[in-house]
Chains A and B, each alone.
Chain A
Amino acid sequence: MSTSAVLRVALPRARPRRRFGVAARGFAGVLILLAAWQISVPLVGLSPYFYPAPTDVLAAFVALVRKGILPVYLADSVMRYLTGLVCGAGLGIGFGVLIGMSRKASLALSPLFKFLFAIVEVAWIPIFVVWFGYGIETIVLALIYVVFFPVLYNTLLGVRTAPQILVNAVRSLGASRLQVLRLVILPGALPGIITGLRLGAGFAFRGLVFAEMVAAKTGIGYLIFEGAQAQQTSRTIVGMIVMGLLWLAIDQFYLRPIERATIQRWGLTIDAAERT
């Protein structure tokens, strides 16, 4: 299967009516799940601490908003997430291009990055806490670490698979190394970079929850942890739902459109994609 065909399958361009139908079906699925959950609560007969009903979760959500806790936690989490994502992606793209274009840099850095890649961020967090204490520095560093590797390796892949014929053509026209990078390598690597960014963004979300559980006194991850500690299971579930919804919103409103725009801009769609 060609790259364009893969992308076509991965990124169908839905028509508004079909998109509405898909959304309606998704919504119906959620409603059925909620109804089943609510009905099961009296049947199971456990206390709300063990098995809260959707109405308990809704009440916890309303209380968290009314008390101003959820908006602050959400803002803190989003701020940490964006800072980690932007810094991690910037470093990943920079090192990916460097390693992809320079043999010396590749020889010097690849073994180190392979080694570091094997050490998951969870292992670093205790060290970061020792070095930087509890707070934003530790969380952002953990997120940078999580985002860095998927962006790095996908950028590297993009740089190395840039069409050599185009590189040669631009070079033969007298382009400098920087011009080759700007005119051929980066545009060619962009779909790879975007894929890495999307992967990194997803991993960062998981990293954020864990880092906030360990090294923060605010944030959605902390809410999940604090709710469980204080036997307020409804609050934990609110945190989980908010996390899920936040990711859906980021993916739907930002990552997908950016990915689609990149792929269309650099000519990786075919007519059939429009019909899908």
Chain B
Amino acid sequence: MLRLPATVTTLLLIALVAYWLAGIVGAHDKLAAIAPPPTSRGDYRITLAFAPERFHQLLLQDKGRLVEVRGNVVFMKDVDPAALRSIARNYWVESVARWSGH
């Protein structure tokens, strides 16, 4: 009788887990460019596939100090490794690279 709600919930959960796993795999690939892996706070250049909107800026501001936006690139300071991983997990983040901070 409640097969439909159970099936839909299961499918939703599978989709959520797949999304989460895809984020982790994607973050791993994006962070592979940064060697050695970060162990302390650092400055980074976050490249998106589009010019960031207010939504992206607010979200990134929670993870560190947003210094500048130039085209599709966001420059950030004082980003800790966990925050960097969570930024890289977003599928709309194209790449992450170290930034000298100037």
Q: State the A residues within 8 Å of B (CB).
A: 66-69, 72, 217-218, 249, 253-254, 257-258, 260-261, 264-265
Interchain CB contact under 8 A, A66 and B1: no
Which of A66, A67, A72, A264: most chain B CB closer than 10 A? A67
A253 contacts across to B, CB distance below 8 A: 4-5, 8
Q: Taking the nearest CB of chain B, how far is it from the CB of A264, in angstroms? A: 7
Cβ contact of A257, chosen from B4, B49, B55, B92, cutoff 8 A:
B4
CA distance A257 to B49 in the complex (A): 42
Q: Taking the nearest CB of chain B, how far is it from the CB of A226, in angstroms? A: 8
Cβ contact of A66, chosen from B2, B4, B49, B55, cutoff 8 A:
B49
B58 contacts across to A, CB distance below 8 A: 217
Pairs across A and B, CB under 8 Å, 7 listed? A66-B50, A67-B50, A68-B90, A72-B55, A72-B59, A254-B8, A257-B4
CA distance A258 to B4 in the complex (A): 9
The main secondary structure of chain A at its interface with chain B is helix
Which of B4, B59, B90: most chain A CB closer than 10 A? B4
Mask of B1-19 contacts with A, CB within 8 angstroms, 1/0: 1101100100000000000
Which residue on A lies nearest to B55, using beta carbons?
A69
Q: State the B residues within 8 Å of A (CB).
A: 1-2, 4-5, 8, 49-50, 53, 55-56, 58-59, 90-92
B4 contacts across to A, CB distance below 8 A: 253, 257
A66 contacts across to B, CB distance below 8 A: 49-50, 92
A264 contacts across to B, CB distance below 8 A: 1
Interchain CB contact under 8 A, B92 and A68: yes
Interchain CB contact under 8 A, B2 and A69: no
CA distance A253 to B59 in the complex (A): 32
On whether A257 and B2 interact (CB within 8 A), knowing A67-B92, A217-B58, the answer reads: yes
Q: Taking the nearest CB of chain A, how far is it from the CB of B14, in angstroms? A: 15
B59 contacts across to A, CB distance below 8 A: 72
Q: Taking the nearest CB of chain A, how far is it from the CB of B63, in angstroms? A: 14
A257 contacts across to B, CB distance below 8 A: 1-2, 4-5
CA distance A217 to B62 in the complex (A): 14
Q: Taking the nearest CB of chain A, how far is it from the CB of B93, in angstroms? A: 9
Given A68-B90, A257-B2, A257-B4, 4 more A-B residue pairs with CB atoms under 8 Å apart are: A218-B55, A258-B2, A258-B5, A261-B1
Interchain CB contact under 8 A, A261 and B92: no
Which of A68, A217, A218: most chain B CB closer than 10 A? A68
Q: Taking the nearest CB of chain B, how far is it from the CB of A97, in angstroms? A: 23
Interchain CB contact under 8 A, A67 and B5: no
A249 contacts across to B, CB distance below 8 A: 8
B8 contacts across to A, CB distance below 8 A: 249, 253-254
Which residue on A lies nearest to B59, using beta carbons?
A72
On whether A67 and B55 interact (CB within 8 A), knowing A253-B8, A254-B8, the answer reads: yes
B49 contacts across to A, CB distance below 8 A: 66
Q: Taking the nearest CB of chain B, how far is it from the CB of A236, in angstroms? A: 15
